[in-house]
Amino acid sequence: MTSSFSASFSSSGTTSSAMSYDEKTAPTLTHDGKHVAVLTENKDDLESRATNDDAIGAVSDAIAAENAEKNIGFFAAVKTYHRAVLWSMAISLCLVMEGYDTALLGAAIATPAFRKKFGYYAGPSKGYQLNPAWQAALGQGPTIGAFCGIFIASWAQDRWGYRRTIQAGLIAITSFIFVVFFAPRIEIFFLGGFLCGFPWGAFSSSAVAYASEITPIKLRGYLTTYVNLCWIMGQFLSAAVVLEVTNVRQDEWAYKIPFAIQWVWPIPIFILVTLAPESPWFLVRKGRLDDAEKSVARLSSGTERASPAETVAMMVRTNDIEKSQHESTSYLECFKGSNLRRTEITTVAWACTVWAGASFANHPEYFFTQAGMSTSQSFKVTLGLRALGFLGTLGSWVLMSHFGRRQMYLFGLSADAIILLLVGILASTTHTQGAVWAQGALVMLWVFFWDLSVTVTAYAIVGEMSSTRMRAKSVGLARNLYNVCGIGAGYINTYSINATAWNWKGKAAFLWCGTCCLSLVWTYFRLPEAKGRSFRELDILFERGVPARDFKKTVIADNEEK
């Protein structure tokens, strides 16, 4: 740098000037023995100034990219980032498979052929029943497997990225389905469900994080909640398949055929995952900036976007801010400083979807059959539930454009608590067939409000609230608390409605009304608003310790980094 500076300067020099130079200094212009223009600069200072200029340029690029994401309109964002939308939707298809599989377990237990194969005869009035302990174990075995699988997946995501993690999960699920399909005894069936839980855990955490990282601010909420829509579509397909099969078969193939259909999913999804771009945020965290630019270029197009270089500069800036606050990315870091609060929000927000009564109202096949409906009627009602859940998720996209995450969560939990209270009152006061159908109608209404506001918003919250460097582990912890709560709630719900256990039937709704109200209290005091915020702004808000109810009104300037 000094040599070129000297050469360019001397080529335009004057005869009346003398120039001095040494290894550590740039030229000094003198006239008549006196300094008239001091141009001496330390070599290190020049390099430092050049570095500072580069840094200023990088920050300018980062600000430009962030403002471009925040200011673009919805339809322009869809047009500009349509590739990101399509790839996010493709990866989220894993959740169609998971939703199908998990719903299938509940449907299988309600199938007479399944209870006859793995249960015992409980008398002419009750027919074949599963042992309550085994019924609970079958329902929660996959959840226990998912608990372990999520920890493995979170580590794999940090090391190899989302694509490789999902590919490994698809290979695993293809193998584990054999165990469930050919299970001769209930113990083997439980083992198969437990093993299937490992890849299901990988899918549930990877799809949310991937959708959050490849989409811009304007579309982030829609694509993270689309993950829930895929889960509902899987459940709807499961209910439809089981209903169709049980209408024509009463033997063991009534539950085996639906399980065999699981082999349809992995190969086409594996191809899509192989073709998909890796998350540019993951590539930035790995220091692969050139690859990150290529990934950004594959995810967006048009003139209304920032350039790939500017977008990567924004990611680098956010990553550097987070590194300055928390250098480590271990699980322990999730419980330190501002990350502790972020971990609380992501984990409890997802757990609230269980505490709102999901185990009772979202898997109602067995409950309906014990309440007096026929198996066919219970599956038809369940099919209607899945359709309502689908419509609720679509409706949430309309609400999300007008209301924030916090408002939707408060509204949904309030509505579901009231519905559960009404179900409990009906179950306690009358036992007619009309009351059973009224309970079914209220459960359907609960599912609609749950999918309209609570569960879809939870996906958006989990995808947004964690820091980018801790996302894989934070989402994993959140999903695992969800699983732990699901296991506990599943056992309680099984015993509360099982005909040979507590036999509460619809009165179990009182219990879930109480836990739903507790979730409502937590939401009011602890859940902040993240709608429209960049990851950099969220980092700053959490680092400052801004109260939850002040998040929405706090202004963060473009040049602020702490």
Phi–psi pair at 356, nearest 5 degrees: -70, -10
pLDDT band at 410 (very low <50, low <70, confident <90, very high): very high
Average pLDDT along the chain:
83
- Indicate if the pLDDT at residue 27 is higher than 60: no
Q: Is residue 291 located within the same domain as residue 325?
A: yes
Q: Is residue 121 located within the same domain as residue 13?
A: no
Rounded to an integer, what distance in angstroms lies between the CA atom of residue 276 and that of residue 407? 34
**So what's the pLDDT on residue 247?**
66
Query: What's the CA angle centered on 94, arms 91 and 96, to 5 degrees?
Result: 120
Is 35 strand, coil or helix? strand
DSSP state of 474: H
In a domain, 21, yes or no: yes
Mean pLDDT for 83-101 is 90
Range of the domain at 204: 57-550
- Indicate if the pLDDT at residue 8 is higher than 60: no
Q: Is residue 230 located within the same domain as residue 288?
A: yes
**So what's the pLDDT on residue 76?**
92
In a domain, 555, yes or no: no
Q: What percent of the chain has pLDDT over 70?
A: 86
Tell me the pTM.
0.78
DSSP state of 436: H
Q: Is residue 148 located within the same domain as residue 7?
A: no
**So what's the pLDDT on residue 57?**
63
Burial profile 524-549: b = 16 or more Cβ within 10 angstroms, e = fewer:
eebbbbbbebbbbbbbbbbbeebebe
**Predicted confidence (pLDDT) per residue in 61-78, tens digit:** 888 888 888 889 889 999
Q: Is residue 32 located within the same domain as residue 86?
A: no
Rounded to an integer, what distance in angstroms lies between the CA atom of residue 545 and that of residue 562? 11
Q: Is residue 410 located within the same domain as residue 434?
A: yes
Phi–psi pair at 123, nearest 5 degrees: 110, 165
Distance of CA 1 to the CA centre of its chain: 49
**Predicted confidence (pLDDT) per residue in 374-390, tens digit:** 766 777 777 777 788 88
**Predicted confidence (pLDDT) per residue in 146-186, tens digit:** 889 999 999 999 999 999 999 999 999 999 999 989 988 88
In a domain, 370, yes or no: yes
**So what's the pLDDT on residue 132?**
77
Q: Is residue 11 located within the same domain as residue 110?
A: no
In a domain, 18, yes or no: yes
Please state which of the ranges 17-26, 330-339, 345-354, 427-436 shows the lowest mean pLDDT: 17-26
**Predicted confidence (pLDDT) per residue in 96-139, tens digit:** 888 887 777 767 777 778 888 888 877 777 777 788 788 878 87
Rounded to an integer, what distance in angstroms lies between the CA atom of residue 236 and that of residue 210? 24
Rounded to an integer, what distance in angstroms lies between the CA atom of residue 267 and that of residue 218? 32
Q: Is residue 6 located within the same domain as residue 142?
A: no
Mean pLDDT for 522-535 is 93
In a domain, 491, yes or no: yes
**Predicted confidence (pLDDT) per residue in 334-372, tens digit:** 998 899 999 999 999 999 999 999 888 776 666 666 666
In a domain, 29, yes or no: yes
Q: Is residue 147 located within the same domain as residue 200?
A: yes
**So what's the pLDDT on residue 499?**
67
Considering its fold, how many domains does the chain have in total?
Answer: 2
Q: Is residue 292 located within the same domain as residue 344?
A: yes
Give the list of residues 6+ apart from residue 322 with CB closer than 8 angstroms, or none: 467, 468, 469, 470, 539
Give the C-alpha distances (Å, rounded to integers) separating 26 from 16, 19, 451.
19, 10, 68
**Predicted confidence (pLDDT) per residue in 453-482, tens digit:** 999 899 999 989 989 999 989 999 999 999
Rounded to an integer, what distance in angstroms lies between the CA atom of residue 288 and that of residue 160? 13
Query: What's the CA angle centered on 130, arms 483 and 114, to 5 degrees?
Result: 90
Please give the single-letter amino acid code of residue 142. Answer: P
**Crossing angle of helices 405-429 and 509-526, rounded to 10°:** 160
In a domain, 110, yes or no: yes
Q: Is residue 126 located within the same domain as residue 31?
A: no
CATH (domain of 347): 1.20.1250.20
In a domain, 90, yes or no: yes
Q: Is residue 460 located within the same domain as residue 543?
A: yes
How many angstroms separate the most distant Cα atoms in the chain?
Answer: 119
**Crossing angle of helices 433-449 and 405-429, rounded to 10°:** 170
DSSP state of 42: B
**Predicted confidence (pLDDT) per residue in 234-291, tens digit:** 888 887 787 677 667 777 888 888 888 889 889 999 999 999 999 999 999 999 999 9
Q: Can you give the three-state secondary structure of 435-504, one letter per residue?
A: HHHHHHHHHHHHHHHHHHHHHHHHHHHHHHHCCCCCHHHHHHHHHHHHHHHHHHHHHHHHHHHCCCCCCC
